[in-house]
A = this chain, B = another copy of it.
Amino acid sequence: MSGKTNTQILVREIPTGALTQAHFETTEAPMPAPVTGGVLVRNILLSLDAANRAWMQGDTYRKAVVAGQVMDGYGVGEVVVSEDEGFAPGDLVAGALGWQDYVALPGRALVKLPGGYRPLSHFLSVLGIAGRTAYHGLMWIGEPKEGDTVVVSAAAGSVGQYVGQIAKLKGCRAIGIAGGPEKCAFLTDELGFDAAVDYKSEHVRKRLAELAPDGIDVYFDNVGGAILEAALFTMAQFGRVVCCGAISQYDTTEMESPRGIPGVIVFKRLKLQGFIVSDFADKDAEASRDLMAWATEGKLKVVEDVLEGLEHAPEGLIGLLHGDNIGKRMVRIGPDPG
């Protein structure tokens, strides 16, 4: 690899309003040397997530992304050099690899993946953060019971598609909220949701009230803002709200909070609970076992949206924030291992 360079996409400037291509810049850096005792990884697939944008807003559950650094991101890669006895060349790994062709990291920052499972992309979708986020949030916070009405927003997105499908597997009614007729048809026709609400053309609160006349038992929130408000006022007594994300609030300076809080929380006796996937690490084995079985048996459809080439990462993230994707969006940086 000597002589090769490492293409990297840096954060040129932290956005204050909407994210644009101008907030990124591409650079050619020298190939990194493995950190002493560490691992050099060739990046293969990069996950694009709404959370990437949230990281630019300041410190959250992790340190904020800062200007001048390689844009942070989760991905899957292949070990090419290792000074860590826990890893060998050819091992497949996942971790915060960043928007770049190669990365040198200490072994403790990486998770080794099973070597035989294909496609690799599943480690960023159904078996990755997306699938486990859907599973953990729905199962442990939503606590769905057979016959419950489960509503999920950003339902055609990376997490939402699994929330609705798992709800169906658990005997619930699943209603998805998504933008546009194409996504709504995808939810009901392809993924087996019972109903879909098009937030771009329908009055969300009225439609939810029609579709859930006895109220929503579990609302899985990926978006925040006005849609969260519509759901809150349609909840059943003692309903559970899984606070997973707030994509409507990340790419803007005009924050819009649901009105009527905490009144509606009190009088409907709601529970709202936030989480990130690692909070349920002790249940990851159970999640992976179920998700792998369901995916293998065809009970869980896995829909992915793979852009080809690292250079498409900025436009891919910007588009995701505008709802362009159906299914889990990722970027292929390099070929699968031979």
- Residues of chain B contacted by A285 (CB below 8 angstroms): none
Contact B257 A259 (CB under 8 A): yes
- The verdict on A117 contacting chain B, using a C-beta distance below 8 Å, is no
B276 in contact with A269 (CB, 8 Å): yes
One of A79-87, A176-184, A244-252, A307-315 contacting the partner: A244-252
Q: Is the CB of A262 within 8 A of B228?
A: yes
Indicate if the CB atoms of A274 and B268 lie closer than 8 Å: yes
Q: Which residues of A contact B (CB under 8 A)?
A: 54, 60-61, 221, 224, 228, 237, 243-246, 249, 255, 257-276, 279
Contacting pair B274 A245 (CB below 8 A):
no
State whether B267 touches A272 (Cβ < 8 A). no
B contact residues around A264 at 8 Å (CB): 274
Instruction: Provide the bound-state CA to CA distance between A178 and B183, in Å.
Output: 50
By the criterion CB–CB under 8 Å, are B269 and A271 in contact?
A: no
Out of B61, B261, B266, B273, which one reaches A267, CB within 8 Å? B61
Can you list 16 residue pairs at the A/B interface with Cβ under 8 Å? A61-B268, A221-B262, A246-B262, A246-B266, A257-B258, A257-B260, A258-B262, A264-B274, A265-B273, A265-B274, A266-B276, A267-B276, A269-B275, A270-B274, A271-B273, A272-B272
Query: How far does the alpha carbon of A246 sit from the alpha carbon of B262 in the complex, in Å?
Result: 6
Assess whether A274 is in contact with B246, with CB atoms less than 8 Å apart: no
Q: Which residue of B lies closest to A270 (CB)?
A: B274
Closest 9 CB pairs of A and B: A60-B267, A265-B274, A266-B274, A243-B262, A272-B272, A243-B265, A271-B273, A246-B263, A257-B261
Whole-angstrom distance between the alpha carbons of A42 and B266 in the complex?
32
Whether A263 lies near B228 (C-beta < 8 A) is: no
